[in-house]
Amino acid sequence: MVFKLKDTQTGLHELNPIKDNTLKIYTCGPTVYNYISIGNLRTYIASDVLKKCLLYVGYKIEDVMNITDVGHLVTDSDTGEDKLDKKARSEGKSAYEIADFYTKYFYSSIDKVNVRLPQVISKATDNIDKQIEIIQILDKKGLVYKTDTGVYFDVSKIKDYEKLLGQDIDKQKIASREDVKIDTTKKNQADFRLWQTEYPNHEMQWDSPWGRGFPGWHIECAAIVNKFLGNHIDIHTGGYDLIFPHHFNEKLISESAFDSKFVNFWVHSGLLLVEGEKMSKSLENIYTIEDIESKGFDPLSLRYLFLTSHYSTKLNFTFSSLQSAQNALFRIYNFIKLNKSLFDKDKKVSLEYKNKFEEKIKNNVDSPGMIDVLWQVIKDKNLDTSSKITTILDFDRVLSLDLHKYLLTEEVPEDISNMLLERKEYRDNKEWNEADNLRIKIEDRGYIVIDLKDNTFVIEK
Ligand SMILES: [Zn+2]
């Protein structure tokens, strides 16, 4: 199988797992001091689609995501205050309460757009030991220095640092900017903080060999990747805005500490504009999924809209494009609703279209192409309706637009849904005979049991 995936820096390459058939994937999670916006959601949906594509074509995955609940600093030069701490003070709450509240909000938002949770989700505050351990490794190698404000990574110790920065990175970002506090204790302007001791009133503090303080942002992801996935991983995802300095510095930390290549593929999703503008507080155009719902949209219309453009491109969100996406999605739902009596659970997925769909997947996760294949299936005059439904339900393992819901019989009696739950347990435990007996019982009551790869439901006979 040739699966082509684009690495942000080096372009399209064939994906070959480091070990066996399993891909190790890390996603930069949210900084939980604010409501996540639809811009953030685009990034998580992109990672979700990528992972479901990999599963669809037969890979296994091990995936991890962090929750940044400390140490995300207010400026991108990695100096200044911690955003969480600042927010806690402004709201008169504890930093832990703030983190907890916005973490829950994050979970409920990604759930609404069918983003599957990674197998491991780990908080920065649960990994302080690992972060200290890595700083100690760097310290032993002579790559850090301590000042009155904290511990810094010394970029002048990195051979070819300038060359590593490459052409793509805007060097202006490293140089001083008006809104960035100049840190005069640094040796080089590009040095970044690994441990911060400057704020004695910061609520979240831990002891370390360099004094009481809290970690910087880049060390956090380096530590969580290393703890759960090891020195070298297959894929690292995140928004384009994390390319520099966050991912660049995360890589610098990891490769320096562990003398190993860090990531095979960096996969970054593109910028989301709103009605042609960058999202900003002053323009009041930072929308959440709740804002979308309150304007009468189904959250999955947003997922459909994002699927219709490639994850790596810049996308201009407008409410009229969301309306068109919703109209298209509802047409698919209607197609299933109108034809559900023709659905035959023994019909096979159309192989011709499945192959086409897989081609799109393996071509750098071409989601607009996948949506296009879905519509080709619906419009095909030579394919029978039942095969059409079976085929697009199969595609929905990747697209996750809840297509199966529209086959469901509304109001399934409680004892039937209980039997389904019980049967799921049997199936999970591979007790096939018991599961089969229950299926027969359910069918005797006048329902047909449909087992999809990730889902089971019933329809009336
Ligand atoms: Zn990160």
| 151-203 per-position pLDDT tens digit | 999 999 998 888 787 755 555 455 444 444 556 778 888 899 999 998 888 88
Closest residue by Cα to residue 446 from 436, 457, 460, 435: 460
315: domain CATH number is: 1.20.120
Co-location of 234 and 294 in the same domain:
no
Cα distances from 275 to residues 278, 290, 448, in angstroms, run: 8, 18, 46
Centre of ligand 1 to C-alpha 429, Å, is 36
Task: Measure 398 CA to ligand 1 centroid, in angstroms.
Answer: 25
Q: Are 248 and 256 in contact (CB under 8 A)?
A: no
pLDDT at residue 181 in the model: 54
Whole-angstrom distance, CA of residue 308 vs CA of residue 256:
40
Ligand 1 centre to CA of 218 (Å) is 6
CA–centroid distance, 401 to ligand 1, in Å, is 28
| Same domain, residue pair 296 and 265 | no
What pLDDT is recorded for position 23?
A: 98
Residue 286 CA to residue 68 CA, distance in Å, equals 20
Question: 245 and 336 share a domain?
Answer: no
pLDDT at res. 173 = 55
Q: Is residue 9 part of a domain?
A: no
Provide the pLDDT for residue 331. Answer: 95
Identity of residue 111: D
Question: Ligand 1 center to residue 237 CA distance, Å?
Answer: 9
Instruction: Report the distance separating Cα 329 and Cα 382, nearest Å.
Output: 23
Instruction: Compute, in angstroms, the gap from residue 78 CA to the centroid of ligand 1.
Output: 13
Q: Is residue 2 part of a domain?
A: no
Q: Is the pLDDT higher at 44 or at 415?
A: 44
Residue 2 has pLDDT above 70, yes or no: yes
Domain boundary among 216, 236, 269: 269
Instruction: Specify the pLDDT at position 93.
Output: 87
CA of 303 to the centre of ligand 1 (A): 23
Instruction: Answer with the one of 269, 292, 322 that is the final residue of a domain.
Output: 269
Q: Both 265 and 283 in a single domain?
A: no
Pick the closest to residue 132 from 188, 208, 70 (CA basis): 208
Q: Cα–Cα distances in Å, from 452 out to 252, 396, 397, 458?
A: 44, 10, 9, 11
Q: Is residue 107 part of a domain?
A: yes
Task: Give the distance (Å) from ligand 1 centre to CA of residue 76.
Answer: 13
CATH, residue 67: 3.40.50.620
**In the structure, what pLDDT confidence band is assigned to residue 346 with cuts at 50, 70 and 90?**
confident
Task: Supply the range of the domain harboring residue 186.
Answer: 16-269
Task: Report which secondary-structure segment, H or E, holds 460.
Answer: strand 456-460
Rounded average pLDDT over 25-41: 95
- In this prediction, residue 409 carries a pLDDT of 67
- At 125, is the secondary structure helix, strand, or coil? helix
301 vs 172 pLDDT, higher one: 301
Query: Ligand 1 centroid to 336 CA: how many Å?
Result: 40
Task: Read off the pLDDT band of 75 (50, 70, 90).
Answer: low
Domain count, the chain: 3
pLDDT of residue 266: 97
In the predicted model, what is the mean pLDDT of residues 324-339? 94
Q: Is the pLDDT of residue 222 over 90?
A: yes
Both 90 and 211 in one domain: the answer is yes
Q: From CA 317, how far away is CA 302, in angstroms rounded?
A: 9
The rounded mean pLDDT for the chain is 90
The whole-number average pLDDT for the span 318-335 is: 96
Residue 10 belongs to some domain of the structure: no
Q: Note whether 435 and 402 are same-domain residues.
A: no
User: Which residues, other chains included, contact 376 with Cβ-Cβ below 8 Å and sequence gap of 6+?
Assistant: 353, 356
Residues 382 and 437 in one domain: no
Q: Are both 200 and 300 inside the same structural domain?
A: no
The residues, any chain, with a CB within 8 Å of residue 352's CB and separated by 6 or more, are none
* Last residue within a domain, chosen from 269, 286, 302: 269
User: Is 91 domain-assigned?
Assistant: yes
Q: Once rounded to an integer, what is the mean pLDDT over residues 127-147?
A: 97
In this structure, is residue 145 part of a structural domain? yes
Give yes or no: residues 365 and 387 share one domain: yes
Percent of the chain with pLDDT over 90: 69
Tell whether 61 and 120 lie within a shared domain: yes
Q: Has residue 169 been placed in a domain?
A: yes
Mean pLDDT, rounded, for 130-157: 95
Q: What is the pLDDT of residues 244-264, one digit of tens each?
A: 889 999 999 999 999 999 999
Spacing, Cα 201 to ligand 1 middle (Å): 25
Domain shared by 390 and 423, yes or no: no
pLDDT score of 283 more than 90: no
Lowest mean pLDDT among 9-18, 126-135, 137-146, 190-199: 190-199
**Could you tell me if 378 and 259 lie in one domain?**
no
- Domain membership of residue 245 (yes or no) is yes
- Using one digit for the tens of pLDDT, what is the confidence trace for 373-420? 999 999 999 999 999 999 999 999 999 999 998 887 667 788 888 898
